Amino acid sequence: MFFIKSIYLLVVLFIYETHCINYAPVVTTRNGQVRGIIKTLDDGTELYVYDGIPYAEPPIGNLRFRKPVPIGNWSGVYDAVKYRQSCIQPDKLEPDNNIPEESIKSEDCLFLTVWSPLPKTCGTKRPVLYWIYGGGFETGTIFSIVNDVRYVAAMGDVIVVTVNYRLGPWGFLYAGTDDAAGNMGLYDQLEGMRWVKKNIEFFGGDPNLVTIFGESAGGMSVGAHVVSPLGAGLFRRAILQSGAPNSYLGSESREKSYNKTLYLARNLNCSTESGRAIVDCLRLKTADQILNISKTARKDSKSFEPIFGEDLMPVQALDALQKGQFNQDIDLMYGTVSQEGALFVESLFPNVFDPSIPKPKINVVAAKQYIQFLYMVFKEPYGGEVADFYTRGLADTDYDRLRQAVGYGFGDYNMACPTVVFGREFALHSQGNRVYAFRVTHPPTIPVFPNCKGWMGVCHGDDVLLLFGFPIRLRGITFTESDYQISRDMIQAWAEFARTGSPSKMGSANWSEAIDRQSDSPYTKYMDLNPNNYSMVSDYYKESCEGLWLKLWNVKK
Ligand SMILES: *[C@@H]1O[C@H](CO)[C@@H](O)[C@H](O)[C@H]1NC(C)=O
Ligand SMILES: *[C@@H]1O[C@H](CO)[C@@H](O)[C@H](O)[C@H]1NC(C)=O
Ligand SMILES: *[C@@H]1O[C@H](CO)[C@@H](O)[C@H](O)[C@H]1NC(C)=O
Ligand SMILES: *[C@@H]1O[C@H](CO)[C@@H](O)[C@H](O)[C@H]1NC(C)=O
Ligand SMILES: *[C@@H]1O[C@H](CO)[C@@H](O)[C@H](O)[C@H]1NC(C)=O
Ligand SMILES: *[C@@H]1O[C@H](CO)[C@@H](O)[C@H](O)[C@H]1NC(C)=O
């Protein structure tokens, strides 16, 4: 249901690359040799890119639904010079499927890409950033232009690794058997992290200085690794953007997940008498048959997501944080955009939430009804309380603020407050770790989704557009100087966090830590990512995430 239509940005940003191939040096990994390609930024800066290196055996045939098997050795030189297959996923709308990098999909998709600035002569190792894409655990690929991290690598002077992981039932089916135990997509990410630990030094990266980062489902994944006993020792720092494992889509019980498995099995005429029978039957179905059902499953809220109660995430994330059972030796950064929910409510109710309608049919009562409707869909009992909270003080003619209220009602529950609460609990139950928060309040001139305008502020996903430097690439063409500045400053801050554990200042504004552990009332203090006025803001979440939501989620203060 909550599936965004299309990433329109591609139309603007699809820049054809030169067709003559300049090879990057051959690197010898522990599994064999790889040849890369040299990519050139518009300003002439060169990067070595090793595109689509296999890190696990193809999870096909009998390996379907199994945890990834580390890649075996190969002989000869593997050509890591072009895109490979994306993990199988529903088609997106045009124009995305016109781009070959996005349209070639397969179960055989466990590849990662290494983006590296040219080696330093003195041979010092660079910090590594490891990117986990979002897409609701149903879509996403490292071969999409939206996950092109060349500017982060070049301007941040860091190595960036991007990883494909399995999606939908292939990544998250739970059948209660050893060979379909759930969380396979998270295990893929973990296997990629192990690959980095073992191999990144050959690319000039420091295996002991890895920062994992991700947005939306990627942020939820990053949070899962933060609380996972299996993540220990694989990374030094983590960044959660607009998502945490305690988000609505972030994780669920095995029982709930198994119900989705039953739904899939029934719709494919498989016996549902046992998990064993289901897995054996599903292994015989074609990928297209499974994909076909997954599409209807989304409408029925039967899409798969990670589970807790399993080796990778033994307990719910917030419980793990409160018990101190998480990777205590890491630094954390977390943050959101100003209007996480806007795109979703706009796509659900365009007749009212389309920002081009100046006086939509909405008033206080209607706004409350929209919120209550959403909480019925979420199957949460507290829709009325949430509706009252977000509409308090508003008048029937506050069209934009009423629409924003519904946007917050959606986004605070799904993305913003889970992320803020995750960061807060991490900070409060750890010592000595550095913890920083941010909130993006500067809307890029061209947002990721073209509908994002007016009342909608900064929409879900726009932080990635800024962080990946699209305004640098298109400076003065489609993006303004402010867009350029925030892009540049975010790349520097993220890279410096990866290097040292503290982000570099934004303009003249220093960051301070998100949570004052000594305080009796520790409220999240964040860097307001607005290039016209970078500054630390306190107490913004005091009443929402750190008031209402801590209470509704029964989080002990
Ligand atoms: C793969 O190659 C590495 C050396 O790079 C070697 O240590 C390892 O034993 C090999 N693995 C297999 C399964 O042959
Ligand atoms: C699973 O589905 C059954 C039947 O539809 C339902 O009664 C049960 O509450 C569901 N369990 C969970 C944990 O959602
Ligand atoms: C399941 O069985 C029904 C009835 O036999 C049939 O109409 C339908 O096409 C089957 N579906 C699949 C996915 O095999
Ligand atoms: C996909 O599902 C539709 C109905 O839901 C059915 O008509 C069609 O045959 C299915 N296609 C495949 C490949 O299973
Ligand atoms: C920012 O931090 C630096 C280094 O800690 C310090 O020298 C500087 O005075 C700080 N700037 C402001 C505006 O607080
Ligand atoms: C900059 O932001 C701070 C903190 O939100 C605020 O107090 C101040 O008024 C802002 N300054 C301007 C010029 O907008």
* DSSP 8-state class, residue 240: E
**Closest Cα to atom 1 of ligand 5:** 510
Tell me which residues have their CB closer than 6 angstroms to ligand 2. 255-256, 259
Return the ligand number nearest the Cα of 292.
Answer: 4
Query: 3-state secondary structure string, 520-532?
Result: CCCCCCEEEECCC
CATH of 342-552, picked from 1.10.3720.10, 3.30.465.10, 3.40.50.1820, 3.40.50.300, is 3.40.50.1820
Instruction: State in Å: Cα 179 to ligand 3 middle.
Output: 26
d(CA 390, CA 393): 9
d(CA 148, CA 339): 24
Judged by DSSP in three states, 165 sits in coil
Q: Is the beta carbon of 431 within 6 A of some atom in ligand 5? A: no
pLDDT at 301: 84
Closest atom, ligand 1, to C-alpha of 32: 5
Asked whether residue 204 carries a pLDDT value surpassing 60, the answer given is yes
Judged by DSSP in three states, 230 sits in helix
Instruction: State in Å: Cα 379 to ligand 4 middle.
Output: 29
CB atoms within 10 A of CB 381: 10
Domains 20-327 and 342-552 share a fold: yes
CA dihedral 463, 485, 524, 512 (to 10 degrees): 140
Return the ligand number nearest the Cα of 267.
Answer: 3
Range in 69-73, 144-148, 316-320, 360-364 the model is least confident about: 144-148
229-287 pLDDT, tens digit per residue, is 999 999 999 999 999 999 999 999 999 999 999 999 999 999 999 999 999 999 999 99
Mean pLDDT of all residues in 283-292: 96
Q: Which residue has the higher pLDDT, 56 or 475?
A: 56
Instruction: State in Å: Cα 49 to ligand 5 middle.
Output: 36
**Closest Cα to atom 12 of ligand 5:** 510
Q: Which residue has the higher pLDDT, 544 or 119?
A: 544
Mean pLDDT of all residues in 152-169: 98
DSSP string, 423-450: HHHHHHT-SS--EEEEEE----SS-SST
d(CA 419, CA 335): 7
Asked whether residue 341 carries a pLDDT value surpassing 80, the answer given is yes
d(CA 87, CA 70): 17
Instruction: State in Å: Cα 25 to ligand 6 middle.
Output: 49
**Closest Cα to atom 14 of ligand 2:** 256
166-185 pLDDT, tens digit per residue, is 999 999 999 999 999 999 99
Q: Is the beta carbon of 281 within 6 A of some atom in ligand 3? A: no
CB atoms within 10 A of CB 69: 13
Asked whether residue 500 carries a pLDDT value surpassing 60, the answer given is yes
Share of the chain above pLDDT 70, in %: 95
Q: Is the beta carbon of 269 within 6 A of some atom in ligand 3? A: yes
| Cis peptide bond N-terminal to 95, omega within 30 | yes
Which residues, in sequence order, are CB contacts of 254 under 8 Å at separation 6+? 174, 176, 182, 307, 308, 309, 310
Judged by DSSP in three states, 61 sits in helix
Q: Is the beta carbon of 289 within 6 A of some atom in ligand 4? A: yes
Closest atom, ligand 5, to C-alpha of 508: 13
Which residues, in sequence order, are CB contacts of 39 under 8 Å at separation 6+? 17, 46, 47, 49, 150
The domain limits of the chain are 20-327, 342-552
Asked whether residue 454 carries a pLDDT value surpassing 80, the answer given is yes
pLDDT at 97: 60
Q: What six digits make up the tokens of 47?
A: 């990067």
pLDDT at 119: 85
d(CA 320, CA 71): 32
pTM summary value: 0.95
Q: Is the beta carbon of 535 within 6 A of some atom in ligand 5? A: no
Judged by DSSP in three states, 43 sits in coil
**Closest Cα to atom 14 of ligand 3:** 268
Instruction: State in Å: Cα 314 to ligand 3 middle.
Output: 37
Return the ligand number nearest the Cα of 535.
Answer: 6
**Closest Cα to atom 14 of ligand 5:** 510
Question: Going by DSSP bridges, is the β-strand pair 174-177/535-537 parallel, antiparallel, or unpaired?
Answer: unpaired
Instruction: State in Å: Cα 260 to ligand 2 middle.
Output: 10
What positions carry a catalytic annotation? 216, 340, 460
Quickly tell me which residue has 């067709």 as its tokens.
Answer: 19
100-153 pLDDT, tens digit per residue, is 777 799 999 999 999 999 987 777 899 999 999 999 999 999 999 899 999 999
Tell me which residues have their CB closer than 6 angstroms to ligand 6. 528, 533, 535, 537
* DSSP 8-state class, residue 307: B
Q: Do residues 527 and 520 lie in contact, with contact meaning Cβ atoms separated by under 8 Å? A: no
Mutate to test the pocket of ligand 4, among 292, 300, 302 (most ligand atoms within 8 A of CB): 292
DSSP string, 198-222: HHGGGGTEEEEEEEEEEETHHHHHH
pLDDT at 557: 72
Tell me which residues have their CB closer than 6 angstroms to ligand 1. 30, 72-73
Asked whether residue 463 carries a pLDDT value surpassing 50, the answer given is yes
Instruction: State in Å: Cα 533 to ligand 6 middle.
Output: 6
Judged by DSSP in three states, 83 sits in coil
User: Cβ-count burial of 275 within 10 angstroms (0-12 exposed, 13-18 middle, 19+ buried)?
Assistant: buried
Asked whether residue 11 carries a pLDDT value surpassing 50, the answer given is no
Return the ligand number nearest the Cα of 254.
Answer: 2
Question: How far are the Cα atoms of 118, 437, 486, 495 from residue 505, in angstroms, in the given order?
Answer: 26, 13, 12, 12
**Closest Cα to atom 6 of ligand 3:** 269
Return the ligand number nearest the Cα of 75.
Answer: 1
- Name beta bridge partners: 117: 47
d(CA 537, CA 481): 24
Question: How far are the Cα atoms of 292, 315, 375, 553 from residue 556, in angstroms, in the given order?
Answer: 43, 17, 23, 9
d(CA 551, CA 517): 20
The topology (CATH level 3) of 20-327 is: Rossmann fold (3.40.50)
Mean pLDDT of all residues in 204-217: 98
Buried b (16+ CB within 10 A) or exposed e, 455-466: bbbbbbbbbbbb
Closest atom, ligand 1, to C-alpha of 29: 5
* Arithmetic mean of pLDDT over the chain: 93
Q: Do residues 161 and 194 lie in contact, with contact meaning Cβ atoms separated by under 8 Å? A: no
Mean pLDDT of all residues in 318-325: 96
pLDDT at 9: 45
pLDDT at 276: 98
In the structure, what pLDDT confidence band is assigned to residue 98 with cuts at 50, 70 and 90?
Answer: low
The widest CA-to-CA distance across the chain, in whole angstroms, is: 70
Instruction: State in Å: Cα 294 to ligand 4 middle.
Output: 11
* DSSP 8-state class, residue 306: -
* DSSP 8-state class, residue 545: I
Instruction: State in Å: Cα 222 to ligand 2 middle.
Output: 29
Closest atom, ligand 5, to C-alpha of 510: 1
Q: Do residues 282 and 268 lie in contact, with contact meaning Cβ atoms separated by under 8 Å? A: yes
Quickly tell me which residue has 């296999």 as its tokens.
Answer: 54
Closest atom, ligand 6, to C-alpha of 536: 4
69-86 pLDDT, tens digit per residue, is 999 999 999 999 999 999
Among 86, 70, 78, smallest CA distance to 37 is for 78
Mutate to test the pocket of ligand 3, among 267, 268, 269, 281 (most ligand atoms within 8 A of CB): 269
**Closest Cα to atom 10 of ligand 5:** 510
Mean pLDDT of all residues in 4-32: 66
